[in-house]
Chain A
Amino acid sequence: MGTALVLAVTACGGGGNSDNNDNDGTATAEFGAAVGKVFNPSDAKGGTLRMAHGSDWDSLDPADTYYGYSWDFIRLYGRSLVMFAPKPGPDGNQLVPDLAESLGTPSADAKTWTYKIKSGIKFEDGTPVTSKDVKYAVERSLDKETFPQGPTYFNDFLDLQGYTSPYKDPDPEKLGLKAIETPDDQTIIFKLKQPFSGFDYFAMLPATIPVPRDKDTGTKYKEHPISTGPYMFETNNLGKNFTLVRNPNWDPATDPNRKALPDRIEVSLNVNADDIDNRLLAGDLDVFVEQTGLGAAARAKVLADENLKKNADAASLARLWFAVVNPDVAPLDNIHCRKAILYAADHEGYQRAYGGPIAGGDIATSLLPPQIPGARKIDLYNFESKKNGDLEAAKSELQQCGQPNGFSTTVTYRAERPAEKATAESLQQSLARVGIKLTIKPYPQADYTKLYVGKPDFAKANNLGVIIYGWGADWPDGFGFLQQIVDSRVIRPQGGNTNLGIKIPEVDQLLDQALQTTDKAAREKLWGDIDQKVMENAMALPGIWAKVLHYRPPNLTNVYVSEGLGGYYDFVSLGVKQ
């Protein structure tokens, strides 16, 4: 696969050897043809890639964006230090250098990380990119007043020493942050507060895409981010549409990762979701930007028709739909009562609520989605063999809990989400079989964690025993996936928690141990151990490991699902037939 891609790139550079025999590729349209392999491999350049978005972009500014689709798309006009390998299958989980010459070089204690930037990389106006532009970009991303939407990993891990924002920086160069050093134009050194063995994932964030200081317009920068990638902005009507054209100052010789096949990329915003599905099916549109898959109607249409189904891909997301079994609420403070819920739940019903085995996902037997390194098979309660629940085991747990006739508690869901409503109804039905009576309560999505289920005293006072929720990792890694939902120390009494009640001291210890473990294999094993512990304590009812049903119109070329990008089509590789 690796050689094939290098060949492909040289072919590009040589200018148009169109037939590239990629062994992992396929030109036969069939269901799942772009999962684990490249569909319609091609090096043919030209054409216009038409994309549509169901609402508005969160932001085109690299400092201010936190959606998976945006992290996928931004690589068309920006280059971060490292990126996920543009490959199908598990290879796509690997980080490869982009701006940098190689992955980061850590110090022995994993607190200092050094990158060397390739020479010959230019902004769209021809100015060379230096390590100072990367430092400035990271600095501005720290300013959460100006850019509230981006992730806070750099804020949390860099040794900031009080630094808040380059806009308030007394340094004339606005490069006063001590946690990042740029000894020369090619070198950049990051200094952390605490060891973090997975820093290369941070170097993948859009915040490391260089921003030229003299072109930075703060909150207005999103109107025209200065490109370092193969495309640059031609027009940008915020909230309506924008167009990208080729960037003449992008040098393919510095960039083995991007194919840059289309000549133009047109993106429409705020398009009706059903309309997007219908246009994809009709071939009037090439890509659904948000990559959340087809809607229920289009899904049923596509799966029922073999001719359409062959153009669809069911991609696994590194995402779990699950329910927290809240140990704060009586009688769920008793482990046996919690186990009774896990045994009595109808797992197939959970799966159906999200769209069934093809479009919804696989029945989850533990928390960690299987594609995350370190995940191992854990099925303590026989979810797989007893898809509709194990009523005998549930009754015996109820006996041991001292509630032989069952008990009453509440199940909550986010009011705006039909799949979660269906889950609540399904749980109500299935738990009633052993006498566990659930009252269904919806809460508004926007305040779900802020005011309701994520506020421990509210959840306790209102007897919220079963809390339906979902979680996805920012990237396929055990730390990113687990820490925010299982570390009891992230639970804040004032609310806004994403850990909805999982409190296990051993899990906290294992998390600390993992952060200090620089050996990759040993660290990854710990994620599995944590998963095991949470399941042993029966504080979560895993529902399904999510899948999403993508549609790839037949004129798309070079299509594959990227695992690193969390189950999305890799936008930097896409091309169109003309």
Chain B
Amino acid sequence: MTIDAGKAADASAPFGDVPPEPSAGALGVKIEGRSLGRIAWNRLKRDRVAMTGGAVVIFLVLVAIFAPLIVKVIGHPPNEFHQNLVDPSLQTPIGRFGGMSWEFPFGVEPVNGRDLFSRILYGARISLLIASLATLLSVLIGTVLGVLAGYFGGWVDAIISRTMDVFLAFPLLLFAIALAGVVPDRAFGASGDVLRVGLLIFIIGFFSWPYIGRIVRGQTLSLREREFIESARSLGARAPYIIFREVLPNLVAPILVYATLLIPTNILFEAALSFLGVGVRPPTATWGGMLSDSVHFYQVTPHFMIFPGLAIFVTVLAFNLFGDGLRDALDPRAR
């Protein structure tokens, strides 16, 4: 670990603990100060597509966080009815393009006239919150179990790997629908939206850990046989030390990449559950729920379907582009 002082000292880079490549010591003075993290960052900066994706992701996160403020300035409370803006017998918004105006930039919902702009913004909160926390949960479980399986091998690996197989073979969507349907409205000391959001995070996160787990296990398996681990072991390092100081730092890159790519999958999954009516309960706005409501009206008020559809599309695309760019930057060999 302390063989190459120059690299280890660079604590500001995320991958400061990465052990040296065998040839690293032979490189010139110029490159000495650049960690793998710095190199990756430079590569990422040159990737315009990934940077655009990243910028959109940051923008979306900010929008989600500040949704109440934005809505206060331009918009209306997301659950407020504006029935005067909806034709009573047609049920469609009065005015062109779904009632779009400066006051209602995205128009209003059919039937009850809720502000679509506010609902899209609030929908972003639910989507991103559930997707990111569910990803965090699956990364946590996946990393812990993956490292254990890969590092210890033997019966530990056998049990964990078979568990992963079971989870991967699980009809997740059906199970999610069933579970979300039977959980009572007051459970685990929570109720209402808090409970539903928590439940969705659990369902989505708990059942997608094997994807991360398998990758982590594979990486650990190959790392375990590498020389720097062998040397650490021969110097008498124990398993916890090796795992935390030698293996995990080398796993940060793949974990980061796959977490970034898991988020859009989870956004889609949350949207699917909301679309099927087992997600967060109405009237709380969700993109999937809005899509589901719009199905009956898409022929007459397409805006009601376009905006939530676009929101999901843009978010998923942005995360995917950013995740792809990140992978290219961190692991050029994967190109």
A residues at B contact (CB < 8 Å): 274, 295-301, 303-304, 348-349, 351-353, 355-359, 410, 415-416, 418, 421-422, 424-426, 428-429, 439-442, 444, 462
Q: Kindly list chain A residues whose C-beta atoms are within 8 Å of the C-beta of B184.
A: 462
A349→B91 contact, CB < 8 A = no
> Is residue B328 contacting chain A, with contact meaning CB distance below 8 A?
no
A439→B90 contact, CB < 8 A = no
* A265 → chain B closest CB, angstroms: 30
Question: Which among A301, A356, A442, A444 is the interface contact of B89 at CB below 8 angstroms?
Answer: A356
In order of increasing CB-CB distance, the 5 nearest A-B pairs are A297-B299, A300-B300, A296-B296, A358-B89, A356-B89
A352→B91 contact, CB < 8 A = yes
Q: Kindly list chain A residues whose C-beta atoms are within 8 Å of the C-beta of B277.
A: 415-416, 442
Q: Kindly list chain A residues whose C-beta atoms are within 8 Å of the C-beta of B112.
A: 349, 352-353, 422, 425-426, 429
Q: Kindly list chain B residues whose C-beta atoms are within 8 Å of the C-beta of A440.
A: 281-283
Q: Kindly list chain A residues whose C-beta atoms are within 8 Å of the C-beta of B88.
A: 348, 351-352, 356-357
- Minimal Cβ-Cβ distance residue in A for B81: A429
Question: Which among B86, B89, B185, B296 is the interface contact of A439 at CB below 8 angstroms?
Answer: B185
- Minimal Cβ-Cβ distance residue in A for B281: A440
Given contacts A295-B296, A349-B83, contact A422 B111 (CB under 8 A): yes
A356→B90 contact, CB < 8 A = yes
A425→B283 contact, CB < 8 A = yes
> Is residue B293 contacting chain A, with contact meaning CB distance below 8 A?
yes
* A192 → chain B closest CB, angstroms: 44
B281→A300 contact, CB < 8 A = no
19 residue pairs of the A-B complex, CB under 8 angstroms, read A295-B296, A296-B300, A297-B299, A298-B299, A304-B92, A304-B300, A349-B81, A352-B91, A355-B89, A356-B89, A357-B88, A357-B89, A358-B89, A359-B89, A418-B296, A421-B293, A422-B112, A429-B80, A439-B185
Q: How far is the CA of A424 from the CA of B112 in the complex (A)?
A: 12
> Is residue B97 contacting chain A, with contact meaning CB distance below 8 A?
no
Question: Which among A296, A297, A348, A424 is the interface contact of B83 at CB below 8 angstroms?
Answer: A348
Given contacts A359-B89, A418-B293, A424-B282, contact A353 B111 (CB under 8 A): yes
Q: A300-B92, A349-B81 known; 16 other A-B pairs, CB under 8 Å?
A: A296-B91, A298-B299, A300-B91, A352-B88, A353-B111, A353-B112, A355-B91, A418-B293, A418-B296, A422-B111, A426-B112, A429-B80, A439-B185, A440-B283, A441-B185, A441-B281
Q: Which of B88, B192, B281 has the most CB of A within 10 A?
A: B88
Q: Kindly list chain B residues whose C-beta atoms are within 8 Å of the C-beta of A421.
A: 282, 293
- Minimal Cβ-Cβ distance residue in A for B88: A356
* B92 → chain A closest CB, angstroms: 5
Given contacts A425-B112, A426-B112, A444-B181, contact A297 B296 (CB under 8 A): yes
Q: Kindly list chain A residues whose C-beta atoms are within 8 Å of the C-beta of B283.
A: 425, 428, 440
Interface residues of B in 34-58 (CB under 8 A from A): none
Q: Kindly list chain B residues whose C-beta atoms are within 8 Å of the C-beta of A442.
A: 277, 281-282
> Is residue B298 contacting chain A, with contact meaning CB distance below 8 A?
yes
Q: How many residues of chain B get a CB closer than 8 Å to chain A's CBs?
A: 28
Q: Kindly list chain B residues whose C-beta atoms are within 8 Å of the C-beta of A356.
A: 87-91
Q: How far is the CA of A440 from the CA of B185 in the complex (A)?
A: 10
- Minimal Cβ-Cβ distance residue in A for B80: A429
Given contacts A296-B296, A442-B277, contact A425 B282 (CB under 8 A): yes
> Is residue B228 contacting chain A, with contact meaning CB distance below 8 A?
no
* B157 → chain A closest CB, angstroms: 42
Q: How far is the CA of A303 from the CA of B89 in the complex (A)?
A: 8
* B111 → chain A closest CB, angstroms: 5
* B127 → chain A closest CB, angstroms: 20
> Is residue B297 contacting chain A, with contact meaning CB distance below 8 A?
yes
Q: Kindly list chain A residues whose C-beta atoms are within 8 Å of the C-beta of B185.
A: 410, 439, 441, 462
Q: How far is the CA of A450 from the CA of B224 in the complex (A)?
A: 58
* A114 → chain B closest CB, angstroms: 50
- Minimal Cβ-Cβ distance residue in B for A297: B299
* B297 → chain A closest CB, angstroms: 6
Digitize B173-194: 1 where CB-to-A-CB distance is under 8 Å, 0 elsewhere: 0000000010011000000100
Q: Kindly list chain B residues whose C-beta atoms are within 8 Å of the C-beta of A296.
A: 91, 296-297, 300
Interface residues of B in 290-304 (CB under 8 A from A): 293, 296-301
B111→A352 contact, CB < 8 A = yes
A297→B90 contact, CB < 8 A = no
Q: How far is the CA of A410 from the CA of B281 in the complex (A)?
A: 13
- Minimal Cβ-Cβ distance residue in A for B296: A296
Q: How far is the CA of A295 from the CA of B300 in the complex (A)?
A: 11
Q: Kindly list chain A residues whose C-beta atoms are within 8 Å of the C-beta of B79.
A: 425, 428-429
Q: How far is the CA of A418 from the CA of B298 in the complex (A)?
A: 14
Q: Kindly list chain B residues whose C-beta atoms are within 8 Å of the C-beta of A351.
A: 88
Q: How far is the CA of A92 from the CA of B296 in the complex (A)?
A: 33
* B119 → chain A closest CB, angstroms: 12
* A501 → chain B closest CB, angstroms: 19
Q: How far is the CA of A178 from the CA of B88 in the complex (A)?
A: 57
- Minimal Cβ-Cβ distance residue in A for B276: A415
* A373 → chain B closest CB, angstroms: 29
Q: Which of B87, B111, B184, B185 has the most CB of A within 10 A?
A: B111
Q: Kindly list chain A residues whose C-beta atoms are within 8 Å of the C-beta of B80.
A: 429
Q: How far is the CA of A57 from the CA of B182 in the complex (A)?
A: 31
B192→A439 contact, CB < 8 A = yes
B81→A297 contact, CB < 8 A = no
Q: Kindly list chain B residues whose C-beta atoms are within 8 Å of the C-beta of A410.
A: 185
Q: Kindly list chain A residues whose C-beta atoms are within 8 Å of the C-beta of B83.
A: 348-349, 352
- Minimal Cβ-Cβ distance residue in A for B293: A418
Q: Kindly list chain A residues whose C-beta atoms are within 8 Å of the C-beta of B87.
A: 356
A352→B86 contact, CB < 8 A = yes
Interface residues of B in 251-289 (CB under 8 A from A): 277, 281-283
